[in-house]
């Protein structure tokens, strides 16, 4: 099979989906690997390293799209790439389909086979860990007086106390943020709806991290004395109200900071997406850092960790075929988003009101013993295509 490593073109994106290490594995399996020139440069990998690993360098992404049966990148498919997709071509990237209707339109119209990376990680995405850890640093940077923040230092100084930080959500992203903030001397409180997860955090840090149940009452009490909020909650796209309202933001002290790592519309009422080029804005006296691809700022480490975590998906698909790969790995199966003109992603069906078909049905493996995986989200849909009801 011909596998292509695309150069990510999203504004402020520096990661690469495969390093020379992964290329050497795929080439060793007997496949051809093509890498867009400079695809790994910003992450620290030169074209010559890919060539030494067995890849062929191509001058442009357009050549990769035209040549390869299977292409991969880190972030979403940009509108400028829609016309480059070919019928039957396999694509792996962070699609975020439920939030991107036009992208889904293009995937279905082009009849490609698309896999949304964010749903395929059995042990949590390395990107999530990177987002949490780097997001904590970005919050501390945003708090500097030069950025409109309060000018407080994370661990304090003699006679000046350290900051109070609130981490909302203690999944993979939240755990990364907690680790950095607690290690650097912040007074950390964690909010989540899962008592078991909160208990695990309290135990890990010997009770030095406070824990609260995440609800409007508790957050309203906490915010006026909080210097830094790190939002790591994956907010339901059909939620009827915000987790943190504008009024709650206004209750925070001037110069406090909100870092919205999750970037879900409707979770924080004062949120709007920003970029690495223009990362912060101030509303209600509070500095907001809302960059959607925070891990891109630490592209070297993130690319190595991310590529190592997903290469087995690539190898399984190319060595065993998509059907067998999806039968063997439920996390890969649940991340199948579009298949030759059919939507195969339940959350997208539920959020966008589109019909869908279960991946195992359209792949013809429903009667087999399949590797199990939990649903990717709580959104459900019984809106099936007529021919698959």
Report, as residue numbers or ranges, the catalytic residues. 96, 264
Strands (DSSP E) found in 275-326: 280-283, 286-289
Rounded to whole angstroms, the Cα distance separating 211 from 284 reads 26
Using CA atoms, how far apart are residues 299 and 45, in angstroms rounded to an integer? 11
Characterize 341-352 residue by residue with b for buried, 16 or more Cβ atoms within 10 angstroms of its Cβ, and e for exposed: ebbbbbbbbbbb
CA 205/CA 297 separation, integer angstroms: 28
Cα-Cα-Cα-Cα dihedral sign, residues 355, 359, 362, 366: negative
What would the two tokens of residue 296 be?
A: 């891109």
**Local structure of residue 74 (DSSP, 8 states):** S
Distances (CA, A) of 128 to 6, 99, 218, 250: 21, 18, 25, 28
Tokens standing for residue 114 = 């698309």
SS3 state at 351: helix
Q: Do the beta carbons of residue 77 and residue 97 sit within 8 Å?
A: no
Sequence-separated (6 or more) residues with CB below 8 Å from residue 10: 75, 76, 78, 293
Residue 164 and residue 171 in contact, taking contact as beta carbons nearer than 8 Å: no
Separation of alpha carbons 340 and 109, rounded Å = 9
Number of neighbouring beta carbons within 10 Å of residue 225: 13
- Distance (Å, rounded) from C-alpha 142 to C-alpha 230? 12
Determine what percent of the chain falls in helix, strand and coil, rounding each to the nearest 5.
Answer: 40, 15, 40
């Amino acid at each position: 099979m011909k596998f292509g490593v695309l150069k990510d073109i999203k504004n402020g994106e520096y990661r690469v989906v495969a390093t020379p290490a992964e290329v050497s594995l795929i080439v060793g399996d007997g496949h051809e690997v093509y890498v867009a020139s400079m695809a790994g440069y910003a992450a620290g990998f030169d074209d010559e390293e890919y060539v030494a690993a067995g890849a062929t360098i191509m001058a442009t992404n357009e050549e990769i799209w035209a040549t390869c049966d299977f292409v991969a990148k880190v972030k979403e498919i940009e509108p400028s790439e829609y016309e480059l997709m070919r019928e039957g071509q396999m694509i792996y990237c962070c699609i975020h389909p439920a939030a991107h209707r036009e992208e889904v339109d293009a995937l279905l119209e082009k009849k490609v086979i698309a896999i949304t990376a964010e749903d395929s990680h059995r042990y949590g995405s390395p990107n999530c860990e990177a987002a949490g850890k780097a997001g904590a640093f970005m919050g501390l940077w945003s708090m500097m007086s030069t950025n409109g923040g309060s000018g407080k230092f994370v661990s304090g100084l003699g006679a000046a106390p350290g900051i109070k930080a609130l981490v909302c959500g203690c999944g993979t992203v939240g755990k990364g943020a907690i680790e950095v903030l607690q290690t650097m001397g912040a007074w950390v409180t964690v909010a989540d709806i899962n008592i078991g997860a909160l208990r695990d955090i309290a135990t890990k840090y010997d009770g030095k991290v406070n824990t609260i149940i995440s609800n409007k009452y508790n957050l309203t009490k906490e915010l006026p004395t909080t210097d830094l909020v790190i939002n790591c909650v994956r907010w339901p796209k059909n939620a009827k109200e915000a987790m943190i309202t504008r009024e709650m933001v206004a209750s925070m002290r001037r110069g406090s900071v909100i870092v919205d790592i999750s970037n879900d519309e409707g979770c924080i009422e004062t949120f709007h997406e920003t970029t690495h080029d223009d990362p912060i804005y101030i509303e209600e006296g509070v500095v907001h850092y809302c960059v959607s691809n925070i891990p891109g700022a630490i592209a070297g480490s993130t690319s190595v960790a991310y590529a190592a975590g997903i290469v087995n998906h690539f190898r399984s698909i190319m060595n065993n075929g998509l059907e067998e790969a999806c039968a063997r790995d439920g996390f890969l199966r649940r991340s199948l988003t579009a298949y030759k003109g059919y939507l195969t992603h339940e959350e997208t069906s539920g959020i966008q009101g589109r019909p869908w078909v279960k991946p195992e049905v359209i792949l013809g493996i429903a009667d087999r013993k399949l590797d199990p995986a939990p649903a990717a989200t709580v959104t459900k849909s019984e809106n099936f295509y007529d021919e698959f009801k």
